[in-house]
Amino acid sequence: MAENQYTEDNIRSLDWKEHIRLRPGMYIGKLGDGAAADDGIYILVKEVIDNCIDEFVMGNGKRIDVKVKDGIVTVRDYGRGIPLGKVIDCVSQINTGGKYDSKAFKKSVGLNGVGTKAVNALSSRFRVYSVRDGEKKEAIFIRGELTEDLKLEKTDETNGTYVEFVPDEVIFKKYGFKTPYLAKMMWNYCYLNRGLAIYFNGEKYQSKDGLKDLLENNMDGDPLYPIIHLEGEDIEVAFTHGKTYGEDYYSFVNGQHTTQGGTHQSAFRESVAKVIRDFYNKNYEASDIRQSIVAAIAVKVVEPVFESQTKTKLGSQEIEPDGKSMRAFINDFLKESLDNYLHRNPDAAEMIERKIKQSERERKELSGIRKIARDRAKKANLHNKKLRDCRIHLTDLKDERREASTLFITEGDSASGSITKSRDVNTQAVFSLRGKPLNCYGMTKKVVYENEEFNLVQAALDIEDDMDNLRYNNIVIATDADVDGMHIRMLLLTFFLQFFPDLIKRNHVYVLQTPLFRVRNKKKTIYCYSEDERRNAIEELGKNPEITRFKGLGEISPDEFKYFIGADIRLEPVILSKDASIDSILSYYMGKNTPERQNFIIENLRVEKDLAQTNDEMETEKKDDSDNLEIAS
């Protein structure tokens, strides 16, 4: 039996860029391809802009220019500029920066001097220059390696720092930037830094009223009462109630968007219920108080502690340096400021209590049917095997793979069977629908419990009582690319938008992209997701390749499916635009036929013509190469 040798030759030292490129997850979290808002390419953008924000907070520069085009990112601030003699060090020497020796940066997210270095190391090309008092220093790097160290030169440019980078395709394979994600990032910077102007791809982003603007620009429909906006030292809060189900929160720590919440968000949820109970002197259920609440909270904390590398969930229990607990800090603030507000604004106080009583009535009406539905869900999951679960879930906070936890929702035994056999059992679960779901537009939440499919989906996700219990980070709708598949997709999206809109607002819902064609010869197989890809594949493989047209997911074998739900998975995120209204969207697509929708269908009949033309082309190819061409219809 061979003996494993462990000698000096096994000990290896990596330089800074090698370590970052070998273990990128340690520095920027998951890589991804840009389909999710927390994928690595967005973290790179954020790391560069964070430095510009620090300059603004210090009172230097009120404008930041950001451009993202063709995979190239440029960021220019108008602060003091990096000291010219330290430009190279600040982007290539780990633990080098200006935040170690300044009290002004104590309430910052990144204090370890890593951010820009990670961007440099993970970019195929990285360019930086600094302008200070008529002089300019520039340097260029390739994958973290300094290639051009330009000499100081005179310039008429305004003081500040410029960074340009291209994420390395070796690290971020087949990536693409989603403009809505970047736009949301820019808006959040502006909401948290009033007076700052960000010009993103030429469009100006600026906020006057901070978190109040955030709610006004993100709420679905009108608030039930004017937004309550409260501010104190190191804390800002804004909230109201809307007309949708659930609770909707936007939480921030030192400018970092904590999409998974944390101790500050939990403290706010507890405190707002307690203060309102005390104000009305009635023991209302917390769930009735918070039903349909839309809130934003931002706190500043000295050296915050996060529960993950991507800093999406705050773990700090105390507010330094006085040692007060997070719960006490937020409760004391709301106890004074919110109580005062309610006394001064009796109309808003009356509207809040009216909403609480309405939620209370709805909850009591549902109480009996909820118990029956829970029992039915447990029985169905156990005996009918609707859910093929995975081992790692989003609630497993200590497991690094929890962000990859995924639930595929598909229709039919063939498709669910193929995915089940091909999946990663650790992080990928499968839920099999039976037929088309009900169109639930305009219905009350009672239908969620009375309809078996909806009840089982809700139980699988574990979102009945609290969105924080969500078991999967990614909810992937996997349906056929035909009319029936599109209809099922719309019905599922209607269900989520109607009763659990936070799933979409928090970027948890995706549509699985599967190939339309397989083009292959004896040496190579290429899967194509569009007509253009099919034509390119035919050109690449040469004459007479075998072409298969996939119609449904059930026709793709498990051996092939593993390529589409593995490392090269293509997910299209379901994104609500800034100006989108859930009610208007559902009314348009899922309500009774309207002239507007009829006109839309008529105007888009050309899509059917394009498909017919594609089929004609396929038939022509089939006749020309009948001995070498297979079409699976």
**CB distance 117 to 94 below 8 Å:** yes
Kindly tell me if the per-residue pLDDT of 100 is higher than 70: no
Predicted confidence at residue 107, as pLDDT, reads 57
Question: Rounded mean pLDDT of 163-191?
Answer: 94
112 and 157 inside one domain: yes
153 with 221, same domain? no
Query: Would residue 587 count as lying in a domain?
Result: yes
Residue 623 confidence (pLDDT): 44
Neighbours of 45 (CB within 10 A): 23
Q: What percent of the chain has pLDDT over 70?
A: 85
Question: Taking 70 as the threshold, does the pLDDT of residue 468 lie above it?
Answer: yes
Using omega within 30 degrees of 0 as the cis cutoff, is the peptide bond preceding 83 cis? no
Task: Report residue 127: phi and psi, to 5°.
Answer: -125, 135
The total number of structural domains in the chain stands at 3
Would you say 53 and 255 are in contact if contact means Cβ atoms under 8 Å apart? yes
pLDDT in tens, 58-85: 888 899 999 999 999 999 999 999 999 9
Out of 100-104, 366-370, 546-550, 551-555, give the one with best mean pLDDT: 546-550
**Residue 629 pLDDT grade (very low, low, confident, very high; cuts 50, 70, 90):** very low
User: Of 182, 205, 228, which one is at a domain's C-terminal end?
Assistant: 205
Measured between alpha carbons, how far apart are the two ends of the chain, in Å? 54
Claim to verify: residue 442 and residue 556 sit in the same structural domain: yes
CB neighbour list of residue 82: distance below 8 Å, 6 or more residues apart: 90, 128, 130, 137, 161
Instruction: Please report whether residue 42 resides in a domain.
Output: yes
Whether 374 is covered by a domain: the verdict is: no
Do 493 and 572 belong to one domain? yes
pLDDT at residue 158, as a whole number: 95
Sign, CA dihedral 563-566-567-573, equals positive
Look at residue 442 in the predicted model and tell me its pLDDT. Answer: 84
In a domain, 530, yes or no: no
Given this model, what pLDDT does residue 626 score? Answer: 38
Domain finish residue from 172, 187, 205: 205
Highest mean pLDDT among 94-108, 355-369, 374-388: 355-369
Going across the sheet that includes 293-299, the strands are 228-232, 235-241, 293-299, 248-253, 256-257
Q: Is pLDDT above 60 for 622?
A: no
Let me know: does 194 contact 174? Beta carbons within 8 Å: no
In a domain, 622, yes or no: no
Q: Say which CATH number the domain at 415 has.
A: 3.40.50.670
| 567 or 86, greater pLDDT | 86
- Same-domain status, 29 and 99: yes
Residue 601: pLDDT band by 50, 70, 90 thresholds? low
Question: What's the pLDDT at 11?
Answer: 56
At residue 111 the predicted structure's pLDDT band, cuts being 50, 70 and 90, is very low
Region 604-614: mean pLDDT is: 50
Q: What is the pLDDT of residues 241-278, one digit of tens each?
A: 998 888 889 999 888 888 888 888 999 999 999 999 99
* Same domain, yes or no: 257 and 116: no
Average pLDDT of the chain is 84
CATH of the domain at 191: 3.30.565.10
State the helix-helix crossing angle for 179-192 and 40-57, rounded to 10 degrees: 20
**Residue-wise pLDDT tens digits, 313-334:** 777 777 765 677 888 999 999 9
- Residue 434 above 80 pLDDT? yes
What is the residue type of 458? Q
pLDDT digits (tens, 9 = 90+) for 183-230: 999 999 999 999 999 999 999 999 999 999 999 998 878 899 999 999
Give the pLDDT score at 624: 46
472 occurs within a structural domain: yes
Within a domain: 309: yes
Q: What is the pTM of this model?
A: 0.81
Pairwise CA distance, residues 58 & 158, whole Å: 17
Q: Domain check: are 177 and 240 in the same one?
A: no
The verdict on 197 and 286 lying in the same domain is no
Q: Which of 163, 181, 205 is the last residue of a domain?
A: 205
Contacts of 384 (CB under 8 A, 6+ apart): none
Residues 161 and 221 in one domain: no
What pLDDT is attached to residue 481? 75
Q: What is the mean pLDDT of residues 230-247?
A: 90
Res 154 pLDDT > 90: yes
Domain shared by 178 and 316, yes or no: no
Q: Is residue 528 situated within a structural domain?
A: no
Domain containing residue 269? 212-362
| 118 and 50 together in one domain | yes
- Determine the average pLDDT of the residues in 517-540: 90
Read off the CATH number of the domain in which 270 is found: 3.30.230.10
pLDDT of 486 strictly over 90: no
Query: Quick one: pLDDT at residue 384?
Result: 59
- pLDDT (mean) for 365-386: 73
Q: Are residues 108 and 187 in the same domain?
A: yes
Average pLDDT in the 451-479 region? 88
Q: How high is the pLDDT of residue 16? A: 74
